[in-house]
Amino acid sequence: MAAMSTPRQLLAHLRNLMARGLAPLAEIARLVASELPAEVCSIYAMKPGDVLELVATCGLREEAVGRTRLRVGEGIVGLAAATLHPMNLADAPNHPEFAFRPETGEEKYVSMLAVPVRRAGRTLGVLAVQDSKSHRYETDEVEALETVAMLLVEPLTAAGATEGGEEERGATLSRRFSGPVLVPGLTIGPAVLATAHVPRRLFADDPAAEQERLMAAVEAMRRGIDELITNRMPADVKSGPETREILEAYRLVAADPGWLRRVGEAITGGLSAEAAVHRVVDELRDHMRRIAEPYLRERVADLEDMAGRLLAALGGNGQPEAVPEGAILIARRLGPAELLHWHDRGIGGVVVEEASAASHATILARALALPVIGGARGLLDEAEAGDEVILDAEETQRSGSLGQVILRPEADVTAGYQRALEARRQRQAGWAALRNRPAASRDGTSVTLMLNVGLPLELAQLAATGASGIGLFRTEIAMLARGAIADVGEQTSVYARVLDAAAGRPVLFRTLDLGGDKLLPGSPPSAEENPAMGWRSLRIGLDRPALLRRQLRALLLAAAGRELSVMFPMVATVAEFCTARALLVAEAERVRPRPERLHVGTMLEVPALLWQLPALLQMADFVSVGTNDLLQFLFAADRGSPLLADRYDVLAPAMLGLLGELAAKARAAGVPLSVCGEAASRPLEAIAMVAAGITTLSMPASSILPVKAALAATDLAALRSLMKELQGSGGTEASLREPIAAWAREHGVPA
């Protein structure tokens, strides 16, 4: 082992080596072993089947090259590949996961540092050093080896390495992938791939010049985002403050001085601006993906979106290639500005391997009416640009169900989906004729259909759907999109815009429903075993009354003398409701002008309220059923568990009986009753609820016209008779879905 120089000298020597062309892996291994305190340097390449194969070494036996293999997760090398995180051990052989390979002759080596070679967040191989002296490698040595790992992407790819999880491709075979529907829709088009930017130039001789290039690129990126928002974003999308807030947050990430300082330090160490950005983003990505809070983990996509645009600015890229109209974008992760960029180029749908309903990109895609499927892992590795893709994210009849992505579909499958698309277009054209007609059943029962919304940018759907009002405005959605609790003035502005857009139609504002799977911004992840039944919603508001009072004051100020309806979520006792109502009344005494009329209601989600109905119906001005939570609490079934997704049904006899009894008691007490849970958005469930006696339903905009069409074809008297017969038969069915669906088909009801 040669005396160690410095990590910076190692990078300088590597730069000289690479200047002569693509360096052999064995030569890189020899250089690393000679410059670091290491007697061994080995390079492993990922092969099909998630197998890491030794492809070059300096210090181990040469005959082990091509023979020594480890599976991902096996041994220290396999752990580094699986976790995408360096393994730095002073006594590797005594680590419980150490895997000894006798053909390598590694028994005398003690210290070990294994660093993954990554491309776009996937493992391409592992770079490892070993030494016979026991010591942990210093931080600057680890960073130097991580930089060398960046350098190995191209030579490992040339040596036949594949990304982790990638199997041999069948370029002409049809493949199917599934994932949760994030934004519903159905589309067919050619694939376009959002691939990661890989820096072509890793080293630079003039750090000062690289710093200037970086600052110029940051400024160019800012101008590009401003132009995108100002001139390219559809007017109805950019009208809402949440959209601007999402992109302002994106701007702040790009200009964050801490992030730029870390990039600057990497440039000072000898990296080019591109390589420094790539290096720091890799580190931040790995850190953020280990954060427990889901909302913060979602910001990984924003970070990578920003880095991609910054790298493009550094590279001075010209105009992007043309994208076929209606193409389907396939991405590992996607940030908001990148989504707007692709939307401007004409895409018709999106598949994102790592995304959720709370991601910024999903929020914007919903406003842009772009169908989105998430979680289709492996699709980006399998797809080629131009492959035909079917994105089937149609709204399904059951919550928690999956959408489907069909890559390179067979001709008859494509033909079938083309027929479905044409039928869908014709159906939507027929629905459009219903927009301005009152919602009613075939036998004349009037029904009120309202919207569930959470962002002001969704308010245009009031006119587009002919909805009677807003049956649920989720006030926490804007907070989650913003990443912080807004002050009274900001909240007042949002709520006033909602009331202005409603133009006298009713709006039911739900107070902050945070906690559970919607974490309070700035709060640590919940340590509760059952957060859905823990400290959330109104419980937070009552324990932190200042937070609740600020929101109530903002709602009262926004009303500015108009009618105001406020409902409280997750109420378990009448006493809780009375306490919350008293806070609202007290705030109303301080605000001028007072609302013309103040309606105070509750969500009914906790079954305990069903045994307090007489007292509740005396105190509440209205009640709205949240079927999502009510169903999971009624059947003690976590709605987030895929194992239980199809086990318990809102059309179960117990649930239908509960809704029917609740409707009768509310009607007798003269208290308006509605359903605003997810189940109301599906035509079959909607007609069953109306038959049970609930004639006000609130749902997403995309469901208004289909539900209106189903109601118009339904003879409620006949359906009510069928349901009464089914519920009174004394059967043991877990659900009445099938007989109700069969009746709907027989009577031509599009449900």
CB atoms near residue 721 (< 10 Å): 12
Q: Catalytic site residue 95?
A: no
Q: Please report, for residues 150, 177, 311, 383, the alpha-carbon distance to residue 405 in angstroms, rounded to integers and kept in the order given.
A: 32, 5, 30, 11
Nearest to 493 by CA among 720, 245, 264: 245
Q: Are 128 and 146 in contact (CB under 8 A)?
A: no
Q: Are 471 and 678 in contact (CB under 8 A)?
A: no
Nearest to 719 by CA among 623, 627, 651, 658: 651
Catalytic option among 278, 360, 599, 747: 360
Rounded distance, CA 395 to CA 392, Å? Answer: 9
Q: Please report, for residues 73, 83, 498, 689, the alpha-carbon distance to residue 676 in angstroms, rounded to integers and kept in the order given.
A: 46, 42, 18, 12
Query: Which residues lie closer than 8 Å to 129 by C-beta, 6 or more apart?
Result: 32, 33, 36, 38, 40, 41, 42, 112, 113, 137, 145
Catalytic option among 41, 58, 197, 676: 676
3-class secondary-structure state, position 681: helix
Nearest to 363 by CA among 345, 393, 330, 339: 339
Structure-derived torsion over alpha carbons of residues 365, 366, 371, 373, reported in degrees to the nearest 10: 80
β-strand partners of 697: 449, 675
Q: Which two tokens stand for residue 519?
A: 């974490």
Reduce the secondary structure of 267-294 to three states and give it as a string: HHCCECHHHHHHHHHHHHHHHHHCCCCH
> Taking the mean position of all CA atoms in its chain, how far away is CA 123?
23
Q: Catalytic site residue 578?
A: no
Nearest to 437 by CA among 749, 704, 720: 704
Q: Which two tokens stand for residue 672?
A: 């308006």
Q: Please report, for residues 122, 159, 272, 279, the alpha-carbon distance to residue 22 in angstroms, rounded to integers and kept in the order given.
A: 22, 11, 18, 20
Q: Are 152 and 43 in contact (CB under 8 A)?
A: yes
Query: Which residues lie closer than 8 Å to 309 by C-beta, 6 or more apart?
Result: 221, 224, 225, 254, 337, 338
DSSP per-residue codes, 354-395? S--TTSHHHHHHHHHT--EEE--TTHHHH--TT-EEEEEEPP
Q: Which residues are identified as catalytic?
A: 360, 676
